[in-house]
Amino acid sequence: MKREEFLKELEEVLEVDNLTETSLITLTSLQILAVIVFVDENYDKQLSANELRGIRSVADLMSLIGVAF
Amino acid sequence: MSQITRIDYILPEKILTNEDLSGRFPEWTAEAIEEKIGIAKRHAVCENETAKDLAVKIGRQILTEEDKESIDFLVLCTQSPDYYLPTTACILQNELGLRTDIGAFDFNLGCSGYIYGLGICKGLIEANIAQKILFITSETYTKHINSLDKSNLTIFGDAAAATIVERSETRQIMDFVLGTDGKGASNLIIPNGGLRNRYDIDAINREDNGNIRTNNDLYMNGPEIFNFTIQRIPKLVKDILDKHELTMDDVDYFIFHQANKYMLEYLKKKLKVPDEKFYINMREVGNTVSSTIPIALKDCLDDKIIKQGDLVLLAGFGVGYSWGGTVIRI
């Protein structure tokens, strides 16, 4: 998934608009579930909910997923 | 061999609706709760009503259709006993007026409890210890939830279910796959009130993602439980199918612990189960812990969603972590 595509998909997952890599985000519980599902489906990777609670920006999330965009 | 011959359930009278919740927590709307979680209302016991009381009610209800004298074992699954001792099943035996020459005990499990209970009943029957068992699941998590913990108030409801399991000529309760991983213990826990940490009258409020609770209350790390479930349950289903030498297509219907709609929708998608073979319905009752599977079974039978001869795969999972599954022939 290319960077632009990832950002667009993430906007849908989090139900927010105009995300960029530097956007600041703090995930709610339901958004954490949505991100876990999104990453499990698209990257076959299981993210820890506790790690997701700690992220502060889209860039943090991208580095947690750990794939090249 | 053993079979389920009757199932019934009971819900407490008091109801907590989504409108009640959005009145208390204005940042949530009733519609959003139902859309995301799949629950419109949940039932809750009153202050002076316990899991034992619900168990007595459902026990009396199911025994109106049975010869009480024929029950030769009583098994109760609850995590909300009246006392540390005696075991609640002994009190229940007396209040139900069951014979005194029968076995009775409680076991402490949550969302996997119905599967374990069926396994226990099957074992008791096939070891010739019992012929006809009254197996009750009764849970009152609402008693453990802080009145400011909107997440858990939204999800859990109280209920009790009774199942008659008896000796049969045909093999209707099949084999079991069980699992345990205590590494998840702290993700769904009531920290105080046992002997490790006594109930603390001065316990302080903690804020956790907008939910307020103390260590005397139920704590659930929802996202971690979700993570455990989506990783573990597909493997559980595969192991159950392998053990019975079945394929997904051989199974007529799948009934999983009704944890929440979001989780079940994703499990259904991940397992590639068609909509018409997968049960999701907790709209009227919420997550009733060990009673979700018998409630679903009873509703599916009443609504003719499942019928005689169907192969139904059951799976329960949650607090512990503890999980299990089996296949039953209706």
**Average pLDDT of chain B, as a whole number:** 96
What single-letter DSSP state applies at residue B277? G
- Minimal CA–CA distance to B286: which of B8, B5, B18, B1? B18
Q: What is the mean pLDDT of residues B85-89?
A: 97
Calculate how close chain B gets to A18, using CA atoms only, in Å: 23
B60's CB contacts (< 8 A; 6+ apart) are: B96
Do B260 and B287 touch, CB atoms closer than 8 A?
Answer: yes
Alpha helix stretches (DSSP H) within chain B: 18-24, 30-37, 51-63, 88-96, 113-126, 150-155, 222-244, 261-271, 292-302
Name beta bridge partners: B77. B107, B137
Q: What is the mean pLDDT of residues B21-37?
A: 86
Calculate how close chain B gets to A17, using CA atoms only, in Å: 19
Alpha helix stretches (DSSP H) within B64-214: 88-96, 113-126, 150-155
B67-83 pLDDT tens trace = 999 999 999 999 999 99
A65's CB contacts (< 8 A; 6+ apart) are: A39, A43, A45, A47
Structure-block tokens of residue B101 = 């020459």
* ipTM of model: 0.81
A contacts of B223 (beta carbons < 8 Å): 29, 32-33, 36, 49, 52-53
Q: Which residue has the tokens 């039932």?
A: B43
Residues of B taking part in catalysis: 111, 257, 287
Looking at this protein, which amino acid is placed at residue B243? K
Whether residue B208 is predicted with pLDDT greater than 80 in this model: the reply is no
What single-letter DSSP state applies at residue B102? S
What single-letter DSSP state applies at residue B291? G
Structure-block tokens of residue B124 = 């008791």
Read off the pTM: 0.93
A contacts of B36 (beta carbons < 8 Å): 30
B246-296 pLDDT tens trace = 999 999 999 999 999 989 999 999 999 999 999 999 999 999 999 999 999
- Minimal CA–CA distance to B144: which of B45, B256, B286? B45
The pLDDT assigned to A69 comes to 64
A contacts of B231 (beta carbons < 8 Å): 46
For chain B, the C-alpha Rg in angstroms (whole number) is: 19
Q: Under an 8 A CB cutoff, do A36 and B230 touch?
A: yes
Selected for mutation to probe chain A from B154, B188, B211, B226 (highest A CB count within 10 Å) is B226
B122's CB contacts (< 8 A; 6+ apart) are: B2, B165, B173, B176
CA atoms within 13 A on the CB side of B4: 27
Phi-psi region of A7 (alpha: psi -120 to 50; beta: other; left: phi over 0): alpha
Structure-block tokens of residue B95 = 């209040």
Do B94 and B57 touch, CB atoms closer than 8 A?
Answer: no
Q: Which of residues 40-69 of B touch A (CB under 8 A)?
A: none
Whether residue A1 is predicted with pLDDT greater than 80 in this model: the reply is no
B209-245 pLDDT tens trace = 778 999 999 999 988 999 999 999 999 999 999 999 9
Separation CA B140–CA B187 (nearest Å): 19
What SS3 state is found at A59? helix
A28's CB contacts (< 8 A; 6+ apart) are: B209, B210
Looking at this protein, which amino acid is placed at residue B253? Y
Q: Which residue has the tokens 């597909």?
A: B234
Please give the angle made by the CA atoms of B85, B81 and B193, to the nearest 5 degrees: 85
- Minimal CA–CA distance to B259: which of B289, B220, B291? B289
Contact B265/A at CB under 8 A: no
